Amino acid sequence: MGKYSIKQNKQSCRKVNTDTYEIRYLKNKKIYADGKITYTVVWKDGTETPDINSDDISKQPKENYEIITNHNNNTVKKFNKTNTFLSSKKALLYNRISYDNNNYITTTNNIFLNSSAGGSAGGSAGGSAGGSSIQSIDVCDSIKTQQQVCLDYCKETGILIKDIAIDIGISARNMKNYETGQLGISCSYLTPNSCIIIYTPDRLSRNGALALQFLNIMESKNIDVHFVKENIVWNTKTASQDKMTIRTILNTAEYLSDQTSERIKTTIARKRKEGHYFGTPEYGTKIEINSLGIRKKINCNIEQAIIKDIIKMYKSNLKIFSVKSKNYNNILHSLNTKKIKKRNKDFNKNKIETIIRNYINQSNDSSSRFNTSFNSLLTGFSNITTNSIDIDNNNDISIESNQEMNVSTYDNKPSYISMFTSLFGL
């Protein structure tokens, strides 16, 4: 559910955004004799496109389809054998993890959170830099574990799955997962008499007030929220003691989140003073850990060569194309023909425009610095007149003026002005 890129096949796919197609879910999988597999795609707005080739659909929606289909079939078989009724409410299964891999690297600051003693390292490639350790409170079960526990719970309680939403690298500190993540997108499709299956309250949020606001909204819509580890269902019939348990867990999660945030900020400040670079380096640069263990940003020779080629094409195209977009399209076509990538992704016009704009800005800055420095130099010497320069016994310099120096033109500048020019890098 949500935004998933579809590879090509523009004939059979309805375009929603510039570079992505937005899929809600898949259904009606068909397997043909020649091995071809197709699905019916249900789009975000509810419209459907049948018989889209599996190769044109990205991985996540296909995985969700298999999980949902297998779970629902097995659950129906189990309850048919025991002559018991399934739940009338179909579920959205929601899982979240704040970090994008098992090393717990934050998506915003790219800091390695080391749960063992010895401190944190300045970046995913770095080692320990000493100091107090940072322990992540969000070393949570993996998405796969969350999902499996929730599926087992649904199978035992007879709940069929309608949809799966996964947020990876999305913080729930201020419920961004509900504002802009898959949770918010998925909840917009929920109807009354649905339910949400969540592993534990801190997967929903680490902000007590916002989480309770969300739960009250779901309650008003008659949408149950199941917290699997606590075996508590939040709805209009939930006992006050159970609601207190959920509130306590949410408040504790918020407190621990605040503590971790403070420790991370303190560590970042210390490491910046030590000279560490944080963040993703812009194209043309890379991160290198030096001999002192400091995370530094340096030029990347391979990317610099690609930038140089792009600028060269841009300048050459200026003689041919008066419209910028045609110039960029020509560059893009050349890069794609040569199969040149931007960090394993295809170039697009926006990326090319950014590279060229940075080049132009750097050129303007260099020109401005040259003019400012040289004009200041000329101004300082333009009124100096001298016939001789004497140094007395006290090492004072006295200038006797009889004849004005000609420093009005750059071409005729005296040799010592050339020396200053060289020193200033002019």
Is residue 47 assigned to a domain? Answer: no
What pLDDT was estimated at residue 425? Answer: 46
Instruction: State yes or no: pLDDT of 124 exceeds 70.
Output: no
12 in any annotated domain: no
What's the mean pLDDT in 145-156?
Answer: 96
> Which carries the bigger pLDDT value, residue 128 or residue 291?
291
Asked whether residue 37 is assigned to any structural domain, the reply reads no
**Together in a domain, 121 and 259:** yes
In a domain, 27, yes or no: no
Same domain for 348 and 246: no
Residue 349: per-residue pLDDT: 85
pLDDT at 31: 95
Number of compact structural domains in the chain = 2
**CA–CA separation, 369 and 421 (whole Å):** 12
51 against 1, higher pLDDT? 51
Q: Which residues is 91 bridged to in the sheet?
A: 161, 195
Q: Rounded to an integer, what distance in angstroms lies between the CA atom of residue 259 and that of residue 211?
A: 19
Alpha-carbon 392 to chain mean position: 67
| pLDDT for 348 | 87
Local structure of 321: helix, strand or coil: coil
**Chosen domain end from 249, 269, 289:** 269
* Domain extent for 387: 302-423
Q: Are residues 132 and 241 in the same domain?
A: yes
For 159-218, the pLDDT digits (tens) are 999 999 999 988 888 899 999 899 999 999 999 989 999 999 999 999 999 999 999 999
pLDDT tens-digit series, residues 369-380: 666 666 666 665
Same domain (yes/no): 120, 253:
yes
Asked whether residue 320 falls in the same domain as residue 381, the answer is: yes
Residue 181 sits in a domain of what CATH number?
3.40.50.1390
In a domain, 314, yes or no: yes
Query: Does one domain contain both 221 and 320?
Result: no
d(C-alpha 407, C-alpha 177), whole Å: 66
| Contacts with 5 (C-beta within 8 Å, 6 or more apart), sequence order | 19, 20, 21, 58
When the pLDDT of each residue in the chain is averaged and rounded to a whole number, the result is: 77
pLDDT at 327: 82
**408 and 332 belong to one structural domain:** yes
Report pLDDT for 423: 45
Residue 280 CA: distances (Å) to CA of 106, 110, 319: 12, 8, 35
The answer as to whether 103 is a domain residue is yes
pLDDT in tens, 76-88: 999 999 888 999 9
| pLDDT at residue 391 tops 70 | no
Domain co-membership, 307 together with 192: no
Per residue in 26-46, pLDDT (tens digit) is: 999 999 999 999 999 999 888
Q: Looking at the structure, do residues 184 and 328 belong to the same domain, yes or no? A: no
The whole-number pLDDT of residue 62 equals: 94
**pLDDT at residue number 3:** 44
| Res 379: pLDDT | 63
Query: For 50-54, 202-206, 381-385, which range has the lowest pLDDT when averaged over its residues?
Result: 381-385
3-class DSSP state for residue 176?
helix
Task: Specify whether 241 is located in the same domain as 337.
Answer: no
Residues 333 and 207 in one domain: no
| Residue that wins the pLDDT comparison between 123 and 269 | 269
In 293-348, which ranges are continuous DSSP H helix? Answer: 301-317, 324-337
Q: What is the pLDDT of residue 371?
A: 66
Q: Is residue 286 part of a domain?
A: no
Tokens of 25: 């879910």
DSSP state letter for 293:
S
Assess whether pLDDT exceeds 80 at residue 401. Answer: no
**CA distance linking residue 264 with residue 328, whole number of Å:** 41
Establish if 36 belongs to a structural domain: no
121/263 same-domain check:
yes
